[in-house]
Structure 1
């Protein structure tokens, strides 16, 4: 298959448009996808950047690189095809026999990400140690929270772009405005490094970092403000994550860790 043919199959002008398409798909369908399908989608997505949206990955290659069975790979691709994210484009060998299928991401204007609220984002700043936490920078923990840890906020009043799992983890410890500020901290830390996937892929790690920050708060080891501590933990976690992703990708022969 020549270059002109490949370019004619390219559904997106840039990788950015491809990323937005996959992120929108995940926003609508991720809860219904299995762990294996998500892993396989990650691999196909990562290897569809030379011609954005066009993947040359063979089933055997995906099977080897993701450590999944052949049946799992085929089942995952069938699932993504059925849901309208991918299509198979058959190829023909020079001898006239059928070649491997090329996987092409499909555009879909009916699936989109929700528009986030417009807000100014400020980098969390460290403040000087104080004896009593400031109500503007510290999580609200009333006596009922500290004793029973059951008082929660109503998530219906929070922006829809904040992942539900993060709200579930933080709602027992933070007010509405604090949950929003905490998620802004996560977005800032995410932008600090060059991760492979959108932030939605890393919610589990963000939740774990939040739990660690709450534990540190309860133990009295946070000498400055909570959000600053949480932000620092997120930056450290994301930096470690991007290193793991780079090392896991055999196509990355060199990496400038000084810019990390």
Structure 2
């Protein structure tokens, strides 16, 4: 089973807030060195200070818009041996498909799919070279369903789910573990940025992260936080046809 203590440097995307921030803190508590990537330099700086107050971990933060600066991030970590990659950065957008601008959807697809795949491709090659590594990709319970008014976001997360599970199987005998994390509603800035109203029935980011790291060390390929989300995956997804699910979700959303 993989052990977090075996890794030296972890790279966390979307580390400025939410789930990414909690990954950074929890990995620091386990004494991993960290590369933190995000757009908010002030938030990254404060996170670095907080990490230094609880851990002796080395911290490098990189301010970057990953859609534009993926190569910049790769170039600025070329001197490090990144052996744990946390692909957390992601975007969503709520509303009927034709009502938003194309460039908004293009950004979502680029970040959720292209950037995640490119970073995985690059750092996985180094992991294979040294014979050790781990990858945690943040998908969503939305990726299991056809969701009206969330069509593009849910579809990108379906990609993350399938990509992650395929890689997990591919790398079983390579000492590189891949975990797909599929949270439901979590108290982050996601819903505000997605232009969607929220309620108070949400998981806390730390709860998601602690469970995900536990699942990673247990060697699981998929972690779905919360019993309700697990039931949606294991029961609804298997009993009802996609056509029925899409109609139900149209009313729900």
The bucket for the TM-score relative to the shorter chain is under 0.3
TM-score (norm 1): 0.26
Larger radius of gyration: 1
Larger relative contact order (Cα-Cα within 8 Å, sequence gap ≥ 6): 2
TM-score (norm 2): 0.26
